[in-house]
Every structure is written in C-alpha cells, then in structure tokens.
Amino acid sequence: MTLPSFYPIFDDVRWLHRTLPLGVKLVQLRIKDQPQDVLRQQLAEGRDLCRAHGATLVVNDYWELAIDLGCDWIHLGQEDLDTADTPAIRAAGLKLGVSTHDRAELDRALALNPDYVALGPVYPTILKKMKWHQQGLEKLTEWKALIGDIPLVAIGGMSVERAQGAFDAGADIVSAVTDITLNDDPEGRTESWLKVCK
C-alpha cells in the first residue's frame, strides 16, 4: 500500500470534519491530556469519519484504545516505545509508524519493522520543546539511504513552501501541524498542501 504524501496531524477530531472533505487521505489524531471517555469518543469518531472518506487514520500513542476500537494504524514516539506492547500491536494487525531523531532511535525503530519512519524536526518547530533543534534536509537524505523502501515522513517546521525541498531530499511523506492549525484560513492552506503533495 502506497501512503499519501500529505500527512496532517491534529489534536481534535473537529479538524477531520474540516479537512477530510477537502481530500485529505492520511491523518493523525494526536490528542493530549484528555480523559479516557473523551479519547475513546474522539478516536471512534475519527475512525468512522476516515472510513467514510476513504482516508487512513493514524492514532498517536494510545495503542490499547486503537486495538480496542479496531483502528488500522498506530504512531509511537520513542517514549511510547518504552511502554507499548509492540507484539500485541502487530498481533492485532495494526500498522506502525515510529518517530526517530538520531541513529540509535532509528536502529530501534528498524528493529520493529515499521510501516513508516518519521524524522524530525526537519526545521525548528514551535510545537514542542525538543533537544533536537533542527535536523535539516541532509538528514532526510541520509535516513532515506538507510531505510530503503520504508516510507520516510518529514516532520517539524514544515510548510507548503518547504514541502518540495523535503521531497527532493528523500522524504516520501510530509507532515504538517501548525502550518494548518495556526493559519488564518486552514481549509485554504490544506488545499495548498494537497496541490504541492501530488
């Protein structure tokens, strides 16, 4: 299965109502600091919305809920890997994406035979405080050489204007967060993304 090359990440299912009708086909729900009942409701709604629109939903972190709700994809950060039961995730048939920042983390990810590898932040990001400030486009090229046919996701400080540079450097997929959510016209920005990520 070839994944779409545009991969927005949202913190609330309301964003899916706004962007899936525009043609988004790969999306992540990364919901933080919500009670379990709200999480379950958001993820179930996101699952159903994505299926109705022929899109792929990736659940960030909450692998037990993802299994329980019959979701198809899970994304795990390095901290999540410390506690996640990856054999259970695989036994449930979920596909797996993993965040990486350095070679040790990449080796750890590759040992899990992931369905995609994410590298970030490619550019400085305002989204979260990280010890990695900026990986740069060269790191994308290096990572792609190391992972071969596994899809490579570029994340962190990505914008419509920077997308082509990431693709040229070796990324298969470009992920956006604040470039959409903080834009004055999120729908218009999403449409611009879809044009550059053909």
The residues that are catalytic are 30, 99, 128
C-beta of residue 115 within 8 angstroms of C-beta of residue 151: yes
Q: How far is it, in rounded angstroms, from Cα 157 to Cα 80?
A: 22
Phi-psi region of 98 (alpha: psi -120 to 50; beta: other; left: phi over 0): beta
21, 53 contact by CB (below 8 A): yes
Cα 118 to the center of its chain, rounded Å: 7
Angle at 84 (CA atoms; ends 56, 63), nearest 5 degrees? 30
- Residue 142, class by beta-carbon neighbours within 10 Å (0-12 exposed, 13-18 middle, 19+ buried)? middle
Residue 179's nearest CA partner among 125, 130, 140 is 125
Q: d(Cα 53, Cα 38) in Å, to the nearest integer?
A: 22
